[in-house]
Amino acid sequence: MTAISTALRGATAALNRSSRLQSSIVTTASRSLSTNPHVVIDKYVSAPFPPQAAPASLAAHQQPIRHPNDFLDRNANYSDEDTRSMAGVTATVRHNWTKPEIAEIYNLPFHELMYRASTVHRMYWDPAEVQQCTLLSIKTGGCTEDCSYCSQSTRHKTFVKPTPTMKTLEVLEAAKRAKEAGSTRFCMGAAWRELGNKKNAFNNILDMVKGVNGMGMEVCCTLGMLNAEQARQLKEAGLTAYNHNLDTSPEHYPKVITTRSYEDRLDTIANVRDAGISVCCGGILGLGEKETDRVGLLHVLATLPEHPESVPINALVKVIGTPLGDAAADEEVETDGIGDVDSFDMARMIATARIVMPRTMVRLSAGRLSFSDAEQYLMFQAGANSIFNGDKLLTTDNPAFEEDTALFQKFGFVGKPAHAGPRVAQAGANSIFNGDKLLTTDNPAFEEDTALFQKFGFVGKPAHAGPRVAPSEVMGEVEITKVRGAEQQYA
């Protein structure tokens, strides 16, 4: 019997106890075993309370239950799991998604997409727990690549000036400050095309990895292309994750970067994965891509042999001096939407990623400073459960630590601990006034509300018609289904 088996048995016992203590909150967990090849093996109630709001009587009996932190161990525990269902939504971890399937999800009416993504999120994650990461540029500027969005390329004239690699002690001091501010993952980035033969620099980075790991933090690096031996050494030093973004779809990629092929990036991702390091891989919105390119990027990620452990979703931060930044700033140039990314674009991308890769952490990354607290909450509701904090992301501005602390308090979020797997999830208004006046006060005009309804995917309620029956009246019950023979084992 695996450790997760014991944990889930314990979860059921805890839920049974809590049902007696708080009968109005949760119902008794139930399991149904049979020799039917399609069987329900577990049911539980999702998120009856945020962690800080649970009654003392319930909290005393119920401790957080966690899955393994290592993505390989976690996936192995669920190798025979078929689907999970809750509140009329069914989710599954699969690697054979087609582009039309992902496009159908991406293009759902916004309200339906958000509902599905938020429900899937609650099936696999505690929605109150958000990972906090800090990203430090340990080698800034001087990169020989021609990425058309990047301020660190030698081919672009930007505000960034090349600097030497930081000393190990400086980096460890920065990691210590990040940990004290609440971060549990420390990421180090170097503006290199590849590690290549940088032996001295690589040895220093290995020391940095060992030092940060020794603080009890998770460690991530983004150093350009890696070969298999370099990946092995990083794993041996204690590296948790390696970031190597694909940026966009294979079709749009050549319009953004020419000095490194898409296949080069996939090769590095394979080397990282084969070394047993968690893969962090995502993309950037606002590169002049079409919505089909956003779907294409998600298709590549969702059909990798293993889904990335984390997928950063970035909004382009336009930097004057880069080709994309200059194009976005020139009012006379047709930009094809360069840098034109709003909160709905971000939420739609995050929500689709959450549905097609349910066990992946989705990271709200660059560009967060341009969104209000309410817009960021929309993105968390879409399924984001990781952020970068600290006032810099490599060379671009980001919310300061204290601002994110206030944001977490406002939303009722708690930070995800380092080296801890996903926490097993514990178990509004529908009418408006339209027209440009409310008696004597101003109100949105009819055409504005028509556009709003189209954006959200809403339809008007007919006159003299009762409420439409919801697709499902099941609220909060998660059903895990396995396909096996006669003997069924708890996950």
Q: Which of 133, 280, 354, 423 is catalytic?
A: 280
Task: Please provide the average confidence, as pLDDT, over all residues in the chain.
Answer: 77
Band of the pLDDT at 62, cuts 50, 70, 90? low
- Looking at residue 397, what is its pLDDT? 56
- Looking at residue 25, what is its pLDDT? 29
- Looking at residue 12, what is its pLDDT? 43
3 by DSSP, 3-state: which?
A: helix
Q: Quick one: what percent of the chain has pLDDT higher than 90? A: 40
Q: Which of 133, 147, 221, 281 is catalytic?
A: 147
CA atoms of 341 and 72, how far apart (whole Å): 35
- Looking at residue 447, what is its pLDDT? 73
Q: Which of 133, 220, 221, 281 is catalytic?
A: 220
99-108, 252-261, 291-300, 482-491: least confidently modelled range = 482-491
Active site (annotated) includes residue 133: no
Active site (annotated) includes residue 143: yes
- Looking at residue 285, what is its pLDDT? 95
Residue with structure tokens 């509140």?
87
Q: Quick one: what percent of the chain has pLDDT higher than 70? A: 70
Band of the pLDDT at 269, cuts 50, 70, 90? very high
List strand residue ranges (DSSP E) for 449-491, in order.
477-483
- Looking at residue 456, what is its pLDDT? 74
Q: Which of 143, 294, 348, 354 is catalytic?
A: 143
Q: Which of 66, 363, 368, 423 is catalytic?
A: 363
Instruction: Name residue 462's amino acid.
Output: P
Neighbours of 63 (CB within 10 A): 10
List strand residue ranges (DSSP E) for 145-240, in order.
185-190, 218-222
Q: Which of 66, 116, 150, 265 is catalytic?
A: 150
The set of residues, in sequence order, having a beta carbon less than 8 Å from that of 385 and lying 6+ positions away, is 121, 125, 127, 129, 130, 131, 361, 362, 416
Res. 393: pLDDT tops 70: no
CA atoms of 307 and 165, how far apart (whole Å): 32
205-214, 351-360, 408-417: least confidently modelled range = 408-417
CA atoms of 171 and 174, how far apart (whole Å): 5
Band of the pLDDT at 482, cuts 50, 70, 90? low
Highest mean pLDDT among 14-23, 319-328, 394-403: 319-328
- Looking at residue 82, what is its pLDDT? 83
Torsions phi, psi for 41 (to 5 deg): -110, -10
Q: Which of 66, 116, 133, 187 is catalytic?
A: 187
- Looking at residue 464, what is its pLDDT? 43
Active site (annotated) includes residue 220: yes
291-295, 394-398, 408-412: least confidently modelled range = 394-398
Does 117 or 145 have the greater pLDDT score? 117
Torsions phi, psi for 447 (to 5 deg): -65, -30
